[in-house]
Chains A and B, each alone.
Chain A
Amino acid sequence: MSKKEVIEKIAFNVIQGRVESEDEGFDEGFQGQPGVVELVEEALKEETDPRTIVIDGLTKPMEIVGEKFEREEYLIPDMLASAECVGAAMDLLSPHLIKSGVESKGKFVICTVAGDLHDIGKNIVAIMLKGAGYEVLDLGADVPTARIIETVKKERPPFLGLSALLTTTMRIMGDIMEGLEREGLRNTVKVLIGGAPTSQGFARQIGADAHCKDAFEAIHTLKAMTA
Chain B
Amino acid sequence: MIVIGEKINGSLSKVKAIIRERNAQDLLDLARRQAEAGAGYIDVNVATGEGSADDEVEAMTWAVKALQEEIDTPLSIDSADAGVIEAGLEARNGRPSLINSVNAEPQRLREIVPLASHFEAPLVALAMDETGIPPSVEGRLEACQTIAAACQRAGIRLEHIFFDPLVLPVSADTAQGLVTLEALKAVKQAFVGAKSVLGISNVSYGLPQRAMLNAAFLHMAVFAGLDAAILDPTDARLMAAVRTAEVLTGKDRHCRRYTRFARANR
Residues of A participating in the B interface, judged by any CB pair closer than 8 Å: 17, 23-26, 28, 75, 77-78, 80-81, 84
Number of interface residues of B (CB under 8 A): 7
Chain A's nearest CB lies how many Å from the CB of B221? 23
* Chain B 179-232 residues near chain A, CB threshold 8 A: none
Chain A's nearest CB lies how many Å from the CB of B250? 13
C-alpha spacing A26/B254, complex, angstroms: 9
Not counting A25-B256, A78-B259, A81-B256, a sample of 18 additional A-B residue pairs whose C-beta atoms are within 8 angstroms of each other reads: A17-B254, A23-B253, A23-B254, A24-B253, A24-B254, A24-B256, A24-B257, A28-B260, A75-B255, A75-B259, A77-B254, A77-B255, A77-B256, A77-B259, A78-B254, A80-B254, A81-B254, A84-B254
C-alpha spacing A25/B256, complex, angstroms: 7
C-alpha spacing A84/B260, complex, angstroms: 19
Provide the main secondary structure of the chain A interface: loop
Residues from chain A with a CB closer than 8 A to the CB of B254 are 17, 23-24, 77-78, 80-81, 84
Q: Which residue of B lies closest to A26 (CB)?
A: B256
Q: Which residue of A lies closest to B262 (CB)?
A: A75
* Chain B 246-266 residues near chain A, CB threshold 8 A: 253-257, 259-260
5 A-B residue pairs with Cβ-Cβ distance under 8 Å, sorted by A, are: A24-B254, A24-B257, A25-B256, A77-B254, A77-B256
Chain B's nearest CB lies how many Å from the CB of A79? 10
Q: Which residue of B lies closest to A25 (CB)?
A: B256
Chain A's nearest CB lies how many Å from the CB of B152? 29
The 5 A-B residue pairs with the shortest CB-CB distance, nearest first, are: A77-B255, A81-B254, A24-B256, A77-B254, A75-B259
Chain A's nearest CB lies how many Å from the CB of B59? 32
Interface code B18-47, partner A: CB below 8 Å = 1, 0 otherwise?
A: 000000000000000000000000000000
Residues from chain A with a CB closer than 8 A to the CB of B260 are 28
Residues from chain A with a CB closer than 8 A to the CB of B259 are 75, 77-78
Residues from chain B with a CB closer than 8 A to the CB of A25 are 256
C-alpha spacing A28/B257, complex, angstroms: 9
Residues from chain A with a CB closer than 8 A to the CB of B253 are 23-24
Residues from chain A with a CB closer than 8 A to the CB of B256 are 24-26, 77, 81
